[in-house]
Amino acid sequence: MSHPAPTGLLRRMTSRSPDEGHRAATVLELFFDLCFVVAVAQAGVRLVHAVAEGHFGSGILGYVLVFFAIWWAWMNFTWFASAYDNDDVFYRIAVLVQIAGVLVFAAGIPRASDDGNWAVCIVGYVVMRLAMTCQWLRVARHNSGAERSMALKYAIGLVICQVGWLAMLFAPEGARMYFFVILGLAELSVPLIAEKGFNTTWHPHHIAERYGLFTIIVLGESITAATIAVQEGLDEHEALGELLSIAGGGLLIVFGAWWIYFASPAQDRLTTMRRAITWGYGHLLILGSAAAIGAGIEVAVEQVTGKAHISPVAATAAVTIPTALFLFTGWFLQARHFKRDAAEKALMPVTVVVVLACTFLGTWGVLAAGIVMAAAVTIGVLLSNRPDSASLRKPQVA
């Protein structure tokens, strides 16, 4: 991971080659990811509070809305940078503006989650998206033909969406959910419309690395949140056995999630625009559930220490459901295309079912789910290293 120092204020923003050798994530991109995780952490904190109080519906809905905005802004920059990162001074300043926007967005999450006041969040989001608009306008200025048209469609689409988000601030409270749905769909449609006629030249290996690094950072945030929760539990309560079981099970779950996610080479699936869109959009569920695992572990700790007003089964479900969602989505988008026989293809769906079944074990369900994850990893390693399995087959076309 490296990045040359910028040489001048402005460089031409032209497409980078998708076949460029040794393409890796830059230090600026890693810094960008770390700043976005601040918002992810805030979203997780509000989810913990809501679930611990038994407000499952509103808590999960608020989390989904907040995480969608975080993920979408992060994803848009990631794919743009893979194609057009010229690392001049203006590019770096635009990234700085996006970082400032996400910090404003993160500061507004408590108000949005607790009071339904989305003003600060929307302002922060609009700041992020307008910075991206400027980047696309630069692409349009420095290119011609279909590529220029594509960049202008991106810029126009972004501006229209941001006007919609600002208009939502003046809408009646009862109509805001309709605004969220309509504007969310509009945001998702912008790349689909803009890329017709010309596709950005993103780099498959670079994209796979960027998503992988952000997944690691989000899983790491889950470990941090769980560690703090267990520490507070030990300071205020004496349920050592239950707390250690949650800590141990949580660690096995996160480690297993990491192992399973990186067991298949994602870049080998990113060979067409259709696959790339499905894979990229599907990571909303992967990244959202990865962050929710840490929140669930915190809820389980609070339930054991008497701070959460929910049952042990409900607290365990806060861990097992996002774990199962992470596993199933990763298998569906990526891993299943690298499996060769019935045993390998069935391993992850069976694991998902067994993890969900651990929910009904109550307090000890988190540890049981962690053991199931460890067993799934072990079986997967054994299956992939059978004498007749010298190497993985190429991914299936479907």
Residue 397 — pLDDT band, cuts 50, 70, 90?
very low
pLDDT score at 5: 52
Residue 23 pLDDT grade (very low, low, confident, very high; cuts 50, 70, 90): confident
User: Which comes out higher in pLDDT, residue 350 or 1?
Assistant: 350
In the chain the domains, ranked by start, together with CATH numbers, are 27-194 (no CATH), 204-384 (1.20.1410)
Residue 69: predicted pLDDT: 93
Q: List pLDDT tens digits, range 128-147.
A: 999 999 999 999 999 999 99
According to DSSP, residue 5 is labeled: P
Kindly report the pTM of this predicted structure: 0.89
Query: What is the percentage of the chain residues whose pLDDT exceeds 90?
Result: 61
pLDDT value, residue 398:
43
Per residue in 286-337, pLDDT tens?
Answer: 999 999 999 999 999 889 888 888 999 999 999 999 999 999 999 999 888 8
User: What's residue 243's pLDDT?
Assistant: 84
